Structure formats: C-alpha cells, structure tokens
Amino acid sequence: MVAASIGLAGCGVAAPPGAPAPAAAEAAARHFDVERVATGLDRPTFVGAAPGDPGALWVLEQPGRVVRLAGGEPTVALDLSAVVRTGTEQGLLGVAFHPGFATNRRLFLHWTDRAGDTRVVEFRAGDDGTSIEPEPVRELLFVDQPEENHNGGQLGFGPDGRLYLGLGDGGGAFDPQRRAQDPETLLGKVVAVDVDEQEATWTVVLRGLRNPWRFSFDPALAEVWVADVGQDEFEEVNRVRLEFDEEPKNLGWSAFEGHERLADHELVEGGDLVFPVVTYSHDEGCSVTGGFVYGGTRLPDLVRRYVYGDFCAGTLWTLEGTPEGGAIDVRREEAKVPQLTHIGQDGDGEIVFASAAGSLYRAVPPATPPPN
Ligand SMILES: [Ca+2]
C-alpha cells in the first residue's frame, strides 16, 4: 500500500514547464558522435599521447608493435613482435610514458612474453621522441602467469609519481587458487613501483581484483577509477580514493562479483572493502573497458564525467561522480565503438577510442546537439 500511494503521488507531480518527458529525453541523448580517424591497425590495445608530443597519437598493437601516428601517417616506433605472445588476452597490453618524457625519454611497456608470462620493461625513446631504442633499459617486473587469461593490462603514472600496473588474478574461472585475496602474490592486484629506485620493488596498492584491464587516475581528487572485468554475471567500475598510509583496499573479488557474494570464497581481512559505484549485468555486455574522467573542452556535455564502455557490446556510458565518492546520472550514450579496447586522451585531453577491429575513433561534438 505504501508503494502504491508513493506511485500515485508521483503521478500527480507536474513536470517543470518545457521539460521533455523522460523517454523523449533519453531518445534525444546524443552527447557526442564518434568519428573514425585511423584504420588498418593490427588489434590496437591502447591509444594516447606522450608528454611533449601533443600532435601525435601513440598506439599499441596487441601482436607487439608500438606505432606513432602523426598527421595521419603511422610509423612503427618499436617492434616487439619477436618477444610477444599474442592470444585473446595476451600481447602488448600497456604503456606508460614517464611524466618527464619530453626531456628524459623514459617509457615503460607491459606485455605477455613467449612463455605466457608478464613482463614490464623500461625503454628509452630517441632524442627526437618519435622512435624507441630497441634495446631495453631494464626489466622492472616478471610475473609467472599460471593461465592464459586475466593478465590485466593498464600501466600508468599516479599522482604520487609512481608507476602503477593492473594485474589479473592469474586466470581460470572463479579465481581457483584464490589469488586476488592472497596478500602473498601480486596477481589480482593493482601494484606500484618507484621507477627512480635502483631496484624495482613493487608494492600492492589495491587487492581483490579479477582482471583490471583498464584504470585511470583523477589527479584533481587523488582517486583512481578501476574497471574490473567480471566473471559470469557483472562488470564493475570502482572509484577509489588513494590513501597511501592506509592498508591496501580490497575490491572484493573473488568473495564478491559486483555486489554479489560468492559462496565458498573467503574474504581475507585487512584494508577497507570497496564496492563498485556502478555495475552492469551480462545482459548488457561481457567485458568492461574503463576510461577516464573527461577534462577536455570540445565536449562540454562530458566535462568531469567518467567515460567507459563494453568490449563486446560496443556500448559507451558516461556518469557523474558525486562529492561523496559515488556515481549518479549513468547515461547510456548513443555512440558505439565495436571491440572497444581502450579509451585514451590525445594531447588536449580529448577522447580517442581504440577498437580491436583495427581502427581509432575520436569523440566529436554531435551532429544534432541535445535539446537545452
Ligand atoms: Ca569488486
């Protein structure tokens, strides 16, 4: 009876003058279009800009090439295909340019080696910053990978200047060895290292992850947004405050998939338990591709909104973060990108999408702007 009376009351509330009906607003919700800007790439897994090189786009190809696109022209900056193993989730998966790349030319690459194990290696670009010296500077990480899937992917520099890496739980289904909760392994974690130390010592920043394919930092709020690929039911987006003096926070896997408790999976004590700010079920997709909080100028409708999507469905969503650390106004956008592997930023902070089908797309102002 209570619900019924609330419903009746709701029907009696008049919409403000001029406001479109909700359904109409949804149908007209075209906040950006996507425009293809490059084709012919071989399974791109990353697109973004390097510091000091704002006019170019850097791309990773899963089989092992680093490609620099300038003026629409691709050049191969480095070819690691002789040492990279390519599989559904294996290959050249992540790159991070040092924040001082414009002068120190340091960059870091993450790939699956020929034995199927994880490598993170430092390289140096040539003095003009357009190619990469083929001889590695040093290896920063080797991780034995028990299975072919769940290798994580993302590399990125945090607001504290450390290099971060997302590592999956080692693979298989339902984390059979319970590695994501195990504090003794780097698998199923987001880990970080100070690249200025002589010896690379990785520390766990977040645990309880299944396969954090993509994460990004919101330096303005000292937060990290982690999209964790789900098992059979739910994909999730997590918004986590970075608190370096605290114990590593626990994002729940494999005790939880999304908000759902998995029986017989222990939640190991220690560190705050963090639930996702958004989940979606496998009715809507199958593998989340995390993006970033937009800070560009070309798409005023998206400013300070987090952009993400789904690899399988090609769906793109945006949402607004609340001051309390949550998320509201989740918008399923009209534009789609097939086989979405990465949502990156160009030198102006504008959105560029990578599709494993071989193309790059830009988010551009919509041909028909949404009604005011
Ligand atoms: Ca989780």
Q: What is the pLDDT of residue 24?
A: 39
354-369 tens-digit pLDDT:
999 999 999 999 987 6
Task: Tell me which residues have their CB within 5 A of the ion that is ligand 1.
Answer: 251-252
Nearest to 203 by CA among 224, 186, 187, 188: 186
Task: Tell how far the Cα of 60 is from the centroid of ligand 1, in angstroms.
Answer: 27
Q: Does the pLDDT of residue 197 top 80, yes or no?
A: yes
Alpha carbon of 209 to ligand 1 centroid (Å): 6
Residue 305's Cα: distance from chain center in Å?
15
Residues 6+ apart with CB under 8 A from 23: none
Is residue 169 a contact partner of residue 181, using CB atoms and an 8 Å limit? no
pTM: 0.91
Domains of the chain: 29-364 (2.120.10.30)
- Alpha carbon of 150 to ligand 1 centroid (Å): 15
Distance between Cα 323 and ligand 1 center (Å)? 21
| pLDDT at res. 371 | 64
**Cα 189 to ligand 1 centre (Å):** 11
CA of 350 to the centre of ligand 1 (A): 29
Q: Out of 169-173, 329-333, 365-369, pick the least confident.
A: 365-369
pLDDT per position as a tens digit, 232-281: 999 999 999 999 999 999 999 999 999 999 999 999 999 999 999 999 99
Q: Compute, in angstroms, the gap from residue 52 CA to the centroid of ligand 1.
A: 36
**Is the torsion defined by CA of 128, 129, 134, 139 positive or negative?**
positive
How far does residue 96's CA lie from ligand 1's centre (Å)? 25
Closest by CA to 246, choosing from 272, 273, 216, is 272
CA of 217 to the centre of ligand 1 (A): 18
Ligand 1 center from residue 84 Cα (angstroms):
30
Could you tell me the distance, in angstroms and rounded to a whole number, from the CA of residue 288 to the centre of ligand 1?
Answer: 12
Give the Å distance between the CA of 238 and the centre of ligand 1. 7
HSE of 334, CA atoms in CB hemisphere, 13 A: 16
Q: What is the CA radius of gyration of the chain?
A: 21
Composition of the chain by helix, strand, coil, percent to 5: 5, 40, 50
> Could you tell me the distance, in angstroms and rounded to a whole number, from the CA of residue 290 to the centre of ligand 1?
14
DSSP at 219: G
In the predicted structure, residue 128 carries a pLDDT above the cut 60: yes
Tell me what the pLDDT averaged over the chain comes to.
92
pLDDT digits 0-9 by tens, 88-118: 999 999 999 999 999 999 999 999 999 999 9
Among the residues of the chain, which ranges form H helices?
2-12, 22-27, 101-104
Distance CA 273, CA 249 (A): 6
User: 9 C-alpha vs ligand 1 centroid, how far in Å?
Assistant: 37
Provide the token pair at 370: 């949404």
C-alpha of residue 320 to centroid of ligand 1, in Å: 20
- Whole-number Å distance, alpha carbon 196 to ligand 1 midpoint, is 31
Cα of 272 to ligand 1 centre, how many Å? 12
Average pLDDT over every residue of 290-298 = 98
Reply yes or no: is the peptide bond before residue 254 cis, omega within 30 of 0: yes
Q: What gap in Å lies between CA 78 and CA 60, rounded to an integer?
A: 10
Distance CA 224, CA 218 (A): 6
Q: Separation of 140 CA from ligand 1 center, angstroms?
A: 27
Q: Is 338 helix (H, G, I), strand (E, B) or coil?
A: coil
pLDDT score for 370: 60
How would you list the strands of the sheet with 163-167, edge to edge?
155-157, 163-167, 189-193, 203-207, 249-250
Other C-beta atoms lying within 10 Å of the C-beta of residue 104: 13
Report the alpha-carbon angle 251-154-344, nearest 5. 115
**Res 72: pLDDT:** 86
Classify burial at 120, counting beta carbons within 10 Å of its beta carbon; exposed 0-12, middle 13-18, buried 19 or more.
buried
What pLDDT sits at residue 372? 60
